[in-house]
Structure 1
Amino acid sequence: MSPWKFFLVTFGCKVNQYETEALREAWQRLGGEECDDPAQAAVICVNSCAITAKGERDARNAVYRLRRTAPQARLILTGCAARLFADYKPRPGAFWAAPDLLLPQEHKSLLLQGPWPAPDAPAATALFPDKPGGRPPAAVPHATPDAAFPPFSIARFKRARPVLKVQDGCAHRCTYCIVPLTRGRPRSRPVADIVAEARRLLAAGHAEIMLSGINLAQYGRDAATGDFWSLLTSLDAALAPEYAGRARLRISSLEPGQLDQRGLDALCSCRLLCPQLHISLQHASQSVLKRMGRGHYTAAMLSHAVEALARHWPRMGLGADIIAGFPGETEADVRLLEDFLTALPLTYAHIFPYSRRPGTAADRFA
């Protein structure tokens, strides 16, 4: 196959960053050459995010912008916002540009075979007319993702700290979250594959690896692989004899409910772990958490865990995700949240205004 140039755009979470890297490596093995200028690319792929309305809008705007920049390129839209793009109705008279290929998240792994999936592939119904102004179908049929873990893998990473994807999907159905609708049920990666990929990344010279998934609390629930804490223990046992003091692991995101005694014991015994946690907290008010569908933990669980960890990690980094303005939030809820965050030894916080997402329970909340 003669060389061809491609350009990649990534929005959203660390799992998306990982999957983009897997596509990059797969396309390079197929003779592709990544370029920095989309105008020079024969193929452009937008890996999208739909966690907020802004994320969806950013992906849509990227499609419009890239179509104008590179009208002759094969333009692919995939990821969590791809299905929503098909349902989007632009304002009358507004500029509209459609990708040449629309691959919903459950079909993204088809791109590992190249940017030209076979016409009889399961996503063939998502093909758009082969011209820049083509309109997408009114909707892309839903598909049930394969029960197996998606076959993405990497050997390196463009950034200094690579992401290692260990889990995909979520079955919890928080009332505000569209991710279960776009990524399907939880699937766990086999421990042996995770250890092998970690070794590849460390051998490539990376000194720190980010363990990431859509919901690490659901790792292992779909298979007899143990839970996330047993995975962390297995990774440490496999890698620490060679890499302790030379490399370390970082965890992308945990829930307060995971920080029970078993979780604390695993964190404290791991020789490779970076002394940093990022917590998917969302709020401190229990009434708000219940409306969010997250009543299975309390903010007090996080306070207790941080106090216990401080004896093991005298200095640690602590981050949290917070959603502000959730339906039904009162001034008293806000004051409670402010007081909790003031008392918590936070290093940083990711604070998001609530964003209504179609198809979620909270979309119907007043």
Structure 2
Amino acid sequence: MAPAYGVRVHQFFHAVSVFGHELVNVGWTFLGLALLLHVLKLMLRAIAWRSILVAAYPTHRIRLRTTLGAYVAGVGVNSIAPARSGDLVKLYLVRARIPGAKVTTLAPTLVAETAFDAIVAGGLMLWALAIGVLPTRQVYEKLPTVEWRFFFRHVEATGIVFGLVAVAVVISLFWARGHIARFFDRIRQGFAVFSLPRRLLLGVVLPQALSWILRIATLYCFLRAFHIDATVHNAMLAQVVDSLATLFPATPGGAGTKQGLIVYVFRGQAVSTAALLAFSVGMNIAIVISNVVLGLIAMGLMARTFSWRALFPAQPPDDEPANA
């Protein structure tokens, strides 16, 4: 996959050069508004995560500033590091402030936090399929910047790998069966919010639904900033591209992949490839810079360091209480 990764990098930097030529035409007012809406979206998502954590640890006082700082720091790391490394940062920063918290309980809270997203994103995917804008498997294989086309080209090998992983998981669970009950109790604790309908609806679903409205509004403003036909339809298409590009996060934020998909999904519209690349790269750069700056501030305030890698060597073992 190394040659494919090199192609993605080349395509991305080509798109960056196109963006440089289009920079003078950017609508800065709408760009600023888009970033403001993006920050508000992050705040709403932190509120939802706090509700999930409170349900998991009802006897602990969990401050909003703790979850907001941890969430923003994790988003910042995810913007520059692949494979969602920022999620580990979220877990570390929150765990350090919840006495007795366990990773086996905290990790499911992040899964619970994405449940509503999966429903909405799945609905958008079905909508995009219904109107025929998504590429087929054959097209995916030919798009040079879609890093996960490897899985489509090697279906048999992919199936074997996933099968071996499944067997390894089953063997591991059998070997550790003496600890299974306690392990699953901790996992269930992380999903406790699903047994509290009122908290789930008002504390999780409501802020996340609002965050999705802000997400579409953010994309609408970015479209306006880069002079692409700004409609709710096109903003939703851009969101579909974003969701697809981060499905297998081999590059930070799906960089490279987004540029390949955006051109295909917007095919047939009266917009140039240069404008689409400028929009995709410009939006990506603006959001990454915003996320990284906010993430560094949050990490500096919470962990007294600006290096996310420096967080983990000092992390105590999972069976020891975390420091308050």
Shorter-chain TM-score tier: under 0.3
Taking structure 2 as the reference length, the TM-score comes to: 0.25
Q: Which has the higher strand share?
A: 1
Taking structure 1 as the reference length, the TM-score comes to: 0.23
**Structure ranking higher on relative contact order (CA contacts 8 Å, 6+ apart):** 2
